Structure 1
Amino acid sequence: MKARRRWRGRRRRFAALLLLYTLLLLLLLPYVLDYGAWRGRADEEPLLRRCPSLEAALSEWGWEQRAPQGDGGDGDDEGDEEGVAAAGGNGSAAARKRHIYLHATWRTGSSFLGELFNQHPDVFYLYEPMWHLWQALYPGDALSLQGALRDMVRALFRCDFSVLRLYAAPPAAREPPAAVNLTTAGIFGWRTNKVICSAPLCPAAPRPRHEIGLIDGAACEERCPPRALRELEAECRKYPVVVIKDVRLLELGALQPLLREPGLNLRVIQLFRDPRAVHNSRLKAKQALLRESIQVLRSRQRAEPRGPPRQHLLLPPPLLGGARPPPGPQHRAEHFLGGALEVICQGWLGDLLLARRAPAWLRRRYTQLRYEDLVREPRAQLRRLLRFAGLPVPPAMEAFVVNMTRGADYSSERPFLISARDAREAIHAWRERLSRQQVRQVEAACGEAMSLLAYPLSSGDTRPFPGRLPWEAGKPGRFPLSVGVH
């Protein structure tokens, strides 16, 4: 009996020791792995070490997983741009169709960039379709709307425009959402859309679809009656390239599921502009941008979930301590626009760092463009963008892009009007219109993104980012951004 008790006691002690040993292993192993990873990152760039959530973001968006089906893996991408038109590999019409998303933000020249694709005879162009969603879900913060935006992009790329009915003006109580009578009037910038304002949707159109040149919005509205969405969908399916331009997607990573989706052949062109020029342009259109700036600003807490609170630098001095905006509509508007620009710059920084560590398959589907480079080298940049999209370069389009950037003057009185202007002057306009204090605040809030994009500070200190820039990771010429454009 005593021997049996001793045996049971030994078994209990052995089980307790085994449990304790297992717990020690579980606690020590992650520590050892983390320490080794930290030692391995000791030589990394200081900026990456200041972004502890970067690897978590990479894991969250899944960039480092296997390449999308049919993409060709992570091998050499030589000749990839020339083969964009045949991407997909199975030879079907769906695989040959290309989908281009113009990833931009407000006042970066995105309407001009989109107009270049609107002019191309092989492109079905959609101008800011997500405006309807933001208006319907106001005042939802920008980050919380990213999933809905992605779903809308997926449907639109498939030429399914019925998704717009979900966010149209509320119908009468007795009518279901599907009964909303949506037409071509009021969507996709219809008054200047080359597809909507040309045959066959508009037999009396002022000019044929293949002719390069700006559409007269008043003439289109007069001669082109509204058409049903199903007719517009049928036209969409005829085009080899569908291009969406929008400014409301805050994170490149939100497009990751679409970049991997076998039914889509998605390419992303991200447009940047000097944040000081962006701030200057936003201030001139502050009333028009106020609602959406509030939605972006509401995302600031969600955009910075880790680490100590940051001092937000684009606020007037009385607001740095957290006080309410000062009285007066002008001061409140500047407060909201300045805070939103800071969130946008942090989004740019996140996108640039994601692109920096992107695998080869993503680099083949993503390219970057600075507005300043498009203005200074319009022909070269147009050729690069159209080659990336798998499109030919009509000579008339080269003449068009040059004429659009070499106008008589720079008109800032009508900021949302696309017209020929001296866009080179727009590069430097912020120098004369922003105060020194405003310039310092923008540079302090956006300095890290400006460094990655090679925008020199007003003091002349470019603060070069250690190591190679994102566009230097691929073959030469992949992302040709000139340095020191000012």
Structure 2
Amino acid sequence: MECSWKTIIVLVCASLGIQYTAIRSLTASITSHCPAGHRCKTRHRVNSKYRRLCDDWCNSAHDRKHILILATTRSGSSFLGQLFNQHPAIFYLFEPLYHVQQVFANSSARMRNVVDRRALLGAHRDLLSNLYDCNLNFLENYLKPVPRDHETTVFFRRGASNALCEPPLCHMDQNSKDAIEHLCAKQCKALNLTLASQVCQTRSHMAIKTVRIPEIKDLRLLSEDPRLNLKIIHLVRDPRGILASRMGTFTDNFRAWKIWNATGRRPRSVDLSQIATTCSDLFNSVGTGLSKPPWLRGKYMLVRYEELAREPFKKTAEIYHFVGLDVDNQVKKWILRNTRGTSGAARNYKYTTTRNSTATAESWRLNLSFQIVQTVQHLCNATLIQLGYQLVQSLKELRNVSNSLVESKAFAPFV
């Protein structure tokens, strides 16, 4: 059995490697014969062997938008995701990579040691590629319990996707749009993944939000896939605000931080590595994006959450312009409803997107102790400077929210 178990793992890892080698070889072969971007109009010059593929890919590149929101936990990605979810022509999925992570997290310690980071990222990319192709049945490889007749009741945060809570997938009460996620969880039962795939194909575009890709360089293979014409919206936030939000949301994991914040005494159990890793990933990803590598040309836009929260209409228009779509009236109405909420409403549900967005942007300054802020500034100094967030040198500076810590800094899309 020991030999058999190792053999299976080796075969799985080898299979992943072979898949991606084949994909890259095919991509290189096709792109060497098929013109890209604005040159698609010259299709008649293409080798007849590749003509049909080129025609399909060129049409896809011009018509269908594949959007990826890349972010880290508690950086405002749920809010940004809803700006795409509300568009009637977009099929939106909230964190589908969660299911891959769960399979890995629930596996034995021995298997976690064997399946390395590259294999996990390969699984992530493989799932994303299939989802962008509207193959939601591919998720069945990661759902527990295994779906019967392609139906599942364990689709993570199904209610965060309007398309999965509307006919023909669900016939729930559509009167209260603000409570759609909660109603969907109660009223919509099993999700038929085959039917969901068909619904996906009826939508002109697709958007996926994830906080489970560590760095943007991990998306290179997807970015280079000519069938996708991928548009990456990289959402970032002040790491001090990220930490404050995590402390308020994930109480059990940040209990030591909360004790430190309340008492001023730092417990020995405080784990600094998580926020340090977050800042390192941010710094590396932003550095890659701003260095403008050829594989990101026309595909990368950096967005600071604070600017989106303060001027949601303006920033949403910029994001949609980059993607190549018009802002639908449903999106505008949603922004109006969901950026003028009260702080009390925001506390009722930790993942709510209804709040006073302007007040939320830097509210962490009233909640974090100066000692914790100093610690984060020390750990994340390079990241804060890179992203244009000012440091504070005193408690008075920290609490003076009339002076924003978000510097005026332009991050133009890489086109």
TM-score under structure 2 length normalisation = 0.73
> 1:390-469 to 2 correspondence within 5 Å?
390-409=324-343, 413-414=347-348, 416-459=350-393
The answer on 1:388 being equivalent to 2:352 is: no
> C-alpha distance in 1, partners of 2:216/2:64?
22
Larger radius of gyration: 1
Alignment-mate amino acid for residue 192 of structure 2: A
| 1:85-484 equivalences in 2 (<5 Å) | 92=59, 96-138=63-105, 140=112, 143-144=117-118, 145-169=120-144, 182-183=150-151, 185-202=153-170, 204-207=171-174, 213-287=177-251, 326=268, 331=269, 334-335=270-271, 338-359=272-293, 362-409=296-343, 413-414=347-348, 416-459=350-393, 471=411
Between the aligned partners of 1:383 and 1:135, the Cα distance in structure 2 is: 35
1:103–1:268 contact (8 Å) kept in structure 2? yes
Q: Using the alignment, how far apart are the partners of 2:405 and 2:135 within structure 1?
A: 46
Other structure's SS at 1:120 match = coil
Q: Which amino acid aligns with 2:354?
A: A
Could you say what secondary structure the match of 1:271 adopts?
strand
The 3 A distance-change label for structure 1 pair 272 and 93 is closer
Q: Is the 8 A contact 2:300 2:413 kept in 1?
A: no
Deviation at 1:70, TM superposition (A): 4.3
- Paired with 1:414 and 1:288, the residues of 2 have a C-alpha distance of 18
Could you say if the C-alpha distance between residues 419 and 352 of structure 1 is closer, same or farther in structure 2, counting changes exceeding 3 Å?
A: closer
> Which letter does structure 2 place at the counterpart of 1:442?
V
Shift of 1:354: 1.0
Distance 1:359 1:219 in 2: 44
Match in the other structure for 2:17? none
The amino acid that maps onto 2:307 is D
Q: CA deviation at 1:415?
A: 5.5
Instruction: Kindly state the Cα deviation for residue 225 of structure 1 after the two structures are TM-superposed.
Output: 3.7
Q: Secondary structure at the match of 2:233?
A: strand
User: How many equivalent residue pairs?
Assistant: 349
Percent sequence identity is: 28
User: Residues 463 and 423 from structure 1, CA distance in 2 versus in 1: closer, same or farther, beyond 3 angstroms?
Assistant: closer
Deviation larger for 251-260 or 416-425: 416-425
2:7 paired residue number: none
8 Å CA contact retained: 2:71, 2:236? yes
In 2 relative to 1, CA 94–168 (structure 1 residues): closer, same or farther, beyond 3 Å? same
Q: Secondary structure at the match of 2:163?
A: coil
Aligned partners of 2:29, 2:192: CA distance in 1, in Å?
A: 41
Cα contact 1:272–1:370 (8 A) shared by 2: yes
In 2: Cα distance, 1:356 partner to 1:66 partner: 29
> 2 CA distance for matches of 1:463 and 1:113?
21
| Residues 220 and 295, structure 2, Cα contact 8 Å, conserved in 1 | no
Q: d(CA) in 2 for partners of 1:89 and 1:227?
A: 30
* 1:146-187 residue CA offsets vs partner (Å, 9 max, x unmatched): 22211111111111123322222265xxxxxxx655535332
Report if aligned partners of 1:285, 1:415 keep a CA contact under 8 Å in 2. no
Letter matched to residue 373 of structure 1 = E
| Shift in Å, 1:452 | 1.4
1:25-64 correspondence runs (5 A) = none
Q: CA deviation at 1:125?
A: 0.6
1:66 CA displacement: 13
**Aligned equivalents of 1:73, 1:117: Cα separation in 2:** 26
Displacement of 1:232 in angstroms is: 0.5
Say if 1:447 and 1:89 are closer, same or farther in 2 by CA, change over 3 A.
farther
Asked if the contact 1:119–1:213 (Cα under 8 Å) also holds between the matched residues in 2, the reply is no
Q: 1:371 Cα shift?
A: 0.9
Inter-CA distance 94–227: structure 2 relative to 1 (3 Å threshold) = farther
TM-score by length of 1: 0.63
Aligned equivalents of 2:166, 2:219: Cα separation in 1: 31
Q: What is the rounded CA distance, in whole Å, between the counterparts of 2:381 and 2:201 in structure 1?
A: 43
Secondary structure (helix, strand or coil) at the match of 1:121 reads coil
Structure 1 residues 70, 365: CA separation in 2 closer, same or farther (over 3 Å shift)? farther
Query: Which SS does the other structure have where 1:206 is aligned?
Result: coil
- Runs of 5+ unmatched residues, structure 2: 1-23, 40-53, 255-263, 399-403
Distance in 1 between the 2:30 and 2:384 partners? 30
Q: What RMSD over aligned residues (CA atoms) do the two structures have, in Å?
A: 3.8
Q: Which amino acid aligns with 2:248?
A: K
Distance (Å, rounded) in 2 between the aligned partners of 1:268 and 1:201: 28
Alignment check: 8 A CA contact 1:88 1:96 kept: no
* Higher mean displacement: 267-276 or 130-139: 130-139
1:363 Cα deviation from its structure 2 partner: 3.4
- Structure 1 residues 65-104: Cα deviation after superposition (integer angstroms, max 9, x where no partner): 9996644499xxxxxxxxxxxx988553576221111000
Name the amino acid aligned to 1:162: N
Write out per-residue CA displacement over residues 364-403 of structure 1, whole angstroms, 9 at most, x where no aligned residue. Answer: 1010111111111111111111222222212342232133
**For the Cα contact (< 8 Å) 1:451–1:463, is it kept in 2?**
no
Does the 8 A contact of 2:244 with 2:364 survive in 1?
yes
Read off the aligned partner of 1:379 and give its amino acid letter.
Answer: F
The separation in 2 between residues aligned to 1:151 and 1:275, in whole angstroms, is: 30
Preserved CA contact (<8 Å) 1:71 1:88: no
